[in-house]
């Protein structure tokens, strides 16, 4: 739908072909980065990383649902941060279903944690979310400074989510578990872990020397891809599928559509709502606006709209937008593409997602998480500085 819409925007003169090409060129490095990370995550799954993660949770949960919830929070937060939210939604969620069934625990708290953390826990690194990649480009920050500024908000938001989950799903977590046979754990995929570690180090090094971190992501993906191809564990077609080329085309087309809407009056309307400065009240206002907009038009269009309007205020305002568009989508199904994809995964495993329950959980979690994350960002900016 986005590609014909982009063609229509150009054909009607909402934006010129030159402006559309300029937008595509601006987003191209971001989409290339995303493709490399998606391939890296899929190859890690092929190597057995997520199966090993599930085996670790099953062994150490000791038939305690509350302990399993804590382990899911740890695993989902780490996987989201390093391998992107798509890895948590598509690859970890089925593992969590299987692990809960193996332990005889109710799956709902743990499966819901996957979708909430795919959004909330994607605050930490530029590679964690497409919205982060866009904000990283607009902020002018280095990879390490971005991560340093977002570390405290990331921890604060996850901690609040955990407390909300323990209270909201208390009856499910108190139901206990009747574990079945855990079996022998699969071998640890050392090569995949080392490759991911080296890729992360490559992100930091590339940013420090002024090279686009996408090259580090490409190197990591190629390393695992060559090994998998040589061992006949994957095919070129599977790699192309993992790169999700239709989704990348959607991102580029959506950028053109949003640019057309912004250039034809939306920037003026929203410009009156965005406060200048990066004090605590201003950060709260920007994050709240971003959260509302994410639930009205989805978080990806929201970040494309808001970043040009906040970039002039500095990195603090850009990162406040990120808090809103990453935490805010936990309020409704339509808040993020990841949540919509998660629903498909849950239904494929014969699970149920009730709109009323999902929204009620979001009403508890989203305002509380923002209330913790925004002051944490303000403190980080004061201590570390956004320059």
CB atoms within 10 A of CB 279: 13
pLDDT band at 177 (very low <50, low <70, confident <90, very high): low
pLDDT of 181 > 60? The answer is no
Q: Is the pLDDT of residue 69 over 70?
A: yes
Sorted by sequence, the CB contacts under 8 Å of residue 360 that are 6+ apart come out as none
Q: What's the pLDDT at 286?
A: 96
Calculate helix-pair angle for 108-120, 93-103, nearest 10 degrees: 150
Residue-wise pLDDT for 53-68, tens only, equals 888 888 887 778 899 9
More confident residue, 316 or 178: 316
Q: What is the mean pLDDT of residues 254-266?
A: 82
Residue by residue, DSSP assigns 218-240 as HHHHHHHHHHHHHTTS--HHHHH
Nearest-CA neighbor of 271 among 315, 316, 323, 311? 311
Judge whether 15 and 260 are in contact, CB under 8 Å. yes
Question: What DSSP string describes 160-181?
Answer: HHHHHHHHHTHHHHTT------
Average pLDDT over residues 104-116: 92
Rg (CA), the chain: 21
What local confidence, expressed as pLDDT, does residue 148 receive?
A: 95
Q: Is the dihedral of CA 259, 260, 264, 270 positive or negative?
A: negative
Residue 350, number of CB atoms within 10 A of its CB: 7
Residue 179 pLDDT grade (very low, low, confident, very high; cuts 50, 70, 90)? low
Residue 376 makes CB contacts below 8 A (sequence gap 6+) with: 152, 153, 155, 156, 157
Q: Looking at the predicted structure, is the pLDDT value of residue 182 above 60?
A: no
DSSP structure string for 319-345: HHHHHHHHHGGGGSGGG-HHHHHHHHH
Q: Give the confidence band of 180 by pLDDT, cuts at 50, 70, 90.
A: low
């Amino acid at each position: 739908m986005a590609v014909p819409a982009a063609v229509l925007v150009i054909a009607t003169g909402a934006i010129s072909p030159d402006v559309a090409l300029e937008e595509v060129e601006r987003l191209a490095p971001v989409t290339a980065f995303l493709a490399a990370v998606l391939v890296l995550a899929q190859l890690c799954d092929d190597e057995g990383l997520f199966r090993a993660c599930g085996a670790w949770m099953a062994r150490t949960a000791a038939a305690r649902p509350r302990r399993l919830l804590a382990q899911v929070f740890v695993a989902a937060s780490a996987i989201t941060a390093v391998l992107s939210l798509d890895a948590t939604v598509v690859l970890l969620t089925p593992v969590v279903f299987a692990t809960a069934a193996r332990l005889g625990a109710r799956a709902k708290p743990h499966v819901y944690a996957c979708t909430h953390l795919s959004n909330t826990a994607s605050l930490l690194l530029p590679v964690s979310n497409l919205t982060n990649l866009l904000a990283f480009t607009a902020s002018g920050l280095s990879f390490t400074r971005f991560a340093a500024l977002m570390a405290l908000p990331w921890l604060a938001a996850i901690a609040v989510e955990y407390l909300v989950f323990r209270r909201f799903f208390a009856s499910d977590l108190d139901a206990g578990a009747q574990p079945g046979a855990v079996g022998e754990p699969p071998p640890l995929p050392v090569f995949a872990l080392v490759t991911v570690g080296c890729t992360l180090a490559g992100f930091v090094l590339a940013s420090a020397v002024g090279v686009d971190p996408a090259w580090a992501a490409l190197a990591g993906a190629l390393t695992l891809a060559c090994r998998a191809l040589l061992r006949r564990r994957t095919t070129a077609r599977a790699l192309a599928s993992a790169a999700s080329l239709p989704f990348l085309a959607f991102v580029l087309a959506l950028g053109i559509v949003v640019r057309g809407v912004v250039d034809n009056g939306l920037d003026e309307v929203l410009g009156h709502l965005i406060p200048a400065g990066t004090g605590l009240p201003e950060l709260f206002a920007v994050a709240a606006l971003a959260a509302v907009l994410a639930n009205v038009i989805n978080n990806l269009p929201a970040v494309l709209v808001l970043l040009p309007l906040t970039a002039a205020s500095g990195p603090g305002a850009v990162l406040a937008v990120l808090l809103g568009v990453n935490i805010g989508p936990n309020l409704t199904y339509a808040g993020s593409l990841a949540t919509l994809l998660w629903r498909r995964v849950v239904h494929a495993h014969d699970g149920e997602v009730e709109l009323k329950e999902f929204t009620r959980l979001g009403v508890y979690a989203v305002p509380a998480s923002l209330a913790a994350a925004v002051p944490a960002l303000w403190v980080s900016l004061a201590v570390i500085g956004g320059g």
